[in-house]
Amino acid sequence: MASAAQSKSVTKFAPHVRAAEVSSAASAKEAALRFQISDLNFFYGPKQAVFGLNLKIPANKVTALIGPSGCGKSTFLRTLNRMNETIRNTRVAGEILLDGQSIHGMDVVGLRRRVGMVFQRPNPFPKSIYDNVAYGLRINGYKGRLDDLVEHSLKRAALWEEVKDYLHKSAFALSGGQQQRLCIARALAVDPEVLLLDEPCSALDPVTTAKIEELMFQLKDSCTMAIVTHNMQQAARASDFTAFMLDGKLIEHSETPKLFTTPTDPRTEAYITGRFG
Amino acid sequence: MSKLRLAWRKSLNGVMLTLTGVAAFAVVAVLFVILGYLIWNGGTSLNLAFFTQLPRGEGETGGGMANAIVGSLKLLFLAAVIGLPVGLLAGVYLAEFGGKTFAFITRYTTDLLNGAPSIVIGLFAFSVAVLPVKHFSVMAGGVALGVMVIPITVRSTEEFLRAIPNSLREGAMALGANKWKTIATVIIPAASGGIITGMLLSLARVAGETAPLIFTAFGNQYSNTGWSQPIASLPVMIYTYALGPYDDWHRQAWAAGLVLLALVLIANIGCRLILNRKGSARSI
């Protein structure tokens, strides 16, 4: 019964979604589309968490996902590299295209190599800094010179200068912010096209957060990013496009300045002005 | 009235605090009393000969338990070879793969096996490893101890694997590792300190088992090099010597007890050190 009512509300707000798509399509004319998500539904057992979601994620841009806790933004992000499949009793319906190909037809290992992920809490492996970065390369059977790629990845994650003399020390010896950048370096080592960031700064202080945002800006040359964040200032600062989700539905999606200055949906406005969430 | 009540509460508090403290002290005291008693009675017999010489003939003084020390080590080696791999893999299954029903059955069965009287396990080893070949052997003793090692290893492995945060599994899988690769390259190494501790403790635990060895490894006055002959072991020697009629035997039994307890203590303390080192690496 609840789901019927909710699916009705999807159609009700479809105009907003379409409007958002049109505006983002116009501005993203020069940028290719990396992800194209159509009519995505996601279920934890009998409980539906994402409802009929349509979204286009342009290449070499940062797309921010905002919304109150439990609105399904993390769940949605995790469908993009099929991480939700590791949770039992979940089901996904709908289409997700990566560069025009359905990700559900892909080999999941290949998909996750192309679509890297950084998690909310830094989760370095209990290994050395070097081995953390080399991990993805090793398990994917990389045969070239690891040293060069480890250095390159740490440089891309703006961590090299801080750790170059301690590469064989435990990753746990690093500070939280350094650990998170190490996790980014680890994800970058396999040279992904897309980087999914699931609240990557929520456990970090403002200075470190600024570093990560700066890093995201630099990575745009080589990487498409989608970031889930609770911090609206962060979304406003660091993203090109913003999608607002509520109760598992995409309410509004447009260029970041537009969404934050002239939102079309009253609920978006209520959320970004802090009236709820 | 309320003053009285307050006084009552205060005194009850004091009494209970004292009781718990006394109980805690008793726990610690038991170990030290046993240790002290063993040292008092067996310390003097603990000389080089005890570790290097074979037992003398009945009634003769002197000699040692070299054969029983070697025998116990051989039995523990077999128990490790038989029990640890099975225990480790089953523990990994329970922690990482187990479905609902089968995992429940496995866990429950493991706990029952853990609680099974050791003499029953000895009987089992007797019927599968002694009766068919019609003689006692190191092998049969190893089977008995190996079976006892399995449940302890399973449960400790499972617990230490479960303690590894899920974020590490996700981190590895997000890089394209499949489930087995994640377990083998990240999760087991992360839990290795705990897993090894569990294994050492399970071996230390069965090192003192006597009942299952009496009718499997049996005992032997001499040393032997093979695996198919009966062999002496420290616990069985303690049993035999303690019941014997000679004072010198009694003293040697105490010494053997001291050696066994020292072995268990060393294994325990060694484990603590391994775990602490691992732990401190984590919290730097």
Which of A116, A170, A190 lies nearest to residue B281, judging by beta carbons?
A: A170
**Whole-number mean pLDDT of chain A?**
85
Q: Which residues of B touch A139 (CB under 8 A)?
A: 172, 175-177, 181, 185
Domain count, chain B: 2
Is B61 found in the same domain as B121?
yes
Whether the per-residue pLDDT at A127 is higher than 70: the answer is yes
Taking CA atoms, A42 is separated from A7, A55, A244, A249, A252, in Å, by 13, 14, 17, 11, 19
pLDDT of residue B3: 87
Is B199 found in the same domain as B62?
yes
Domain hosting B271: range is: 48-283
Work out the minimum CA distance from A37 to partner chain B, whole angstroms. Answer: 20
Is B120 found in the same domain as B19?
no
Are B45 and B254 contacting, i.e. CB atoms less than 8 angstroms apart? yes
Which of A119, A135, A170 lies nearest to residue B284, judging by beta carbons?
A: A170
Check A187 against B167: CB less than 8 A apart: no
Chain-centre distance for alpha carbon B220: 23
Is B31 found in the same domain as B73?
no
| pLDDT band at residue A2 under the 50/70/90 scheme | very low
pTM reported for the whole predicted model: 0.79
Check A187 against B174: CB less than 8 A apart: yes
A261/B275: higher pLDDT = A261
Average pLDDT over residues A238-265: 93
Is B34 found in the same domain as B92?
no
Maximum Cα interatomic distance, chain B, rounded to a whole number of Å? 80
Q: What is the pLDDT of residues B235-262, one digit of tens each?
A: 998 998 889 888 888 888 999 999 988 8
Whether the per-residue pLDDT at A240 is higher than 60: the answer is yes
Read off φ and ψ for residue B252, nearest 5 degrees: -65, -35
Check B175 against A123: CB less than 8 A apart: no
Is B89 found in the same domain as B30?
no
Check A86 against B283: CB less than 8 A apart: no
Cα separation, B264 vs B94, whole angstroms: 28
Whether the per-residue pLDDT at A54 is higher than 60: the answer is yes
- The one-letter amino acid code at A270 reads A
Are A227 and A65 contacting, i.e. CB atoms less than 8 angstroms apart? yes
Residues of chain B below pLDDT 50: 280-284
Whether the per-residue pLDDT at A84 is higher than 50: the answer is yes
| pLDDT band at residue A31 under the 50/70/90 scheme | low
Is B252 found in the same domain as B173?
yes
Check B170 against A121: CB less than 8 A apart: no
Is B190 found in the same domain as B212?
yes
Is B31 found in the same domain as B56?
no
Is B11 found in the same domain as B96?
no
Q: Which residues of B touch A124 (CB under 8 A)?
A: 171
Check B282 against A136: CB less than 8 A apart: no
The mean-pLDDT minimum among A47-61, A262-276, B150-164 falls in A262-276
Whether the per-residue pLDDT at A4 is higher than 60: the answer is no
Is B272 found in the same domain as B164?
yes
Whether the per-residue pLDDT at A26 is higher than 80: the answer is no
Check A172 against B284: CB less than 8 A apart: yes
Q: Who contacts A4 (Cβ-Cβ below 8 Å, separation ≥6)? A: none
CATH number at B52 reads 1.10.3720.10
Q: What is the pLDDT of residues B63-106, one digit of tens each?
A: 888 888 888 999 999 999 999 999 999 999 999 887 788 889 99
Taking CA atoms, A252 is separated from A40, A67, A77, A232, B240, in Å, by 15, 11, 16, 15, 83
Average pLDDT over residues A13-32: 46
Q: What is the pLDDT of residues A217-226, one digit of tens each?
A: 989 988 999 9
Check A86 against B170: CB less than 8 A apart: yes
Is B228 found in the same domain as B123?
yes
Taking CA atoms, B227 is separated from B69, B74, B142, B202, B216, in Å, by 15, 9, 10, 22, 12
Q: Which of B101, B175, B180, B181 should be substituted to probe chain A, the one whose Cβ sees the most A Cβ atoms within 10 Å?
A: B175
Q: Which residue of B has its CA nearest to A124?
A: B168
